[in-house]
Chain A
């Protein structure tokens, strides 16, 4: 068969049903996320591993004085949730996007009707989906294996989760916007990730911090989120100021990301 006749066969058989470009992109990005392993191992595996380790330490199951009947493990589960969300949105997602920019994937998409905005949207969909799966997994394993109580005020807990995810994804997009290459993006992401995790109480629980640090913690998105989770577990609504703080981080970083983002 000549090249030309095969080519015309290729041209004439183009009557496939229209599929949504965004749907296809999200499907492909999900496959790539699972294949790349960075996201699943660090974003999902590490927090799960820590949950199992902390859950196996007897001292973590003793009631914390002045915590309203919670154990150390109970207060750590929200931190592990934030750890997972932080790794996914501040490290894994920006690395993917910056890598795409460096390799010309975004530039190439600009020459198609899909456009590069859709690939970013697909990224957000995938990471949002992964965040939901991970959070559900941590909460379920904590409850079933280690008796960590579910939040008494579920709506309040969900509210804090939504605000925290919004702030983190906005920061992740900001890192992707300003990181000139994957290495730099990794460094900028870590620069945000570690202080934020500190103020979530990963190394030192917020109530154990000096007063000054506690004030700062409440103004950071992960500290505010932890406080919101904690209140929800005890059956209370999160402090309004915490929600405002998270919303402010989300808006500022989203605007900065939009301002600085480059396609190539």
Chain B
């Protein structure tokens, strides 16, 4: 078992012919992910990867012909919201938006729309998902993690790689790793993933990697205290970040005194979560 993606995932890549889209499609296929279709308006009928993957003009056509159930989005920020609306209308139930730089008002409209439709979104501005040994949907390097019983959820990309890699070095593996992204308004949040990990029989322990900005970590802490039986270990980035400055991620900002690392760490510790002082300490705390 695992969460959200596995060997049965049938993936459509929106924006498959772009530089990033094509590169990562190659990587995902090499990992063993079932990539069944691509979307690029105007290139319907063509194929990529030596004729293996058909391209369609629309997500709707891709879904009806190939039975795709999951989509990964690599289209540029200015069209990303439209790609998400399109995937939702095409009947996709899980979409993963890798694109960075989607305007936040676009995301508020997307979030409102997909919530009403019952569609799950991971991202945007995220590295996607990796279920080691089964499927990778997004851009997480496949070779940094091995299959195992640790569920990982994170707002960051490379920081997550760092943690997965540190786990691998001591022989610990992951059930699924979910990068939920660094934007202020996104689809899936910490609590969604914690609930899925709590219910997943393969997952025995959970790593949650947060950062400054917003109050999602505090809410997750409340949820953990009330609902989680599996142990949770955490790391919060940005303890040295100055207030009022956006630290790379659109959502990583301390505003009006709220969203500090200190508040998040305090809330998590109060909920019984062990918080690592640096990323390489996580494997030690998980043992």
> Do A and B come together as binding partners?
no
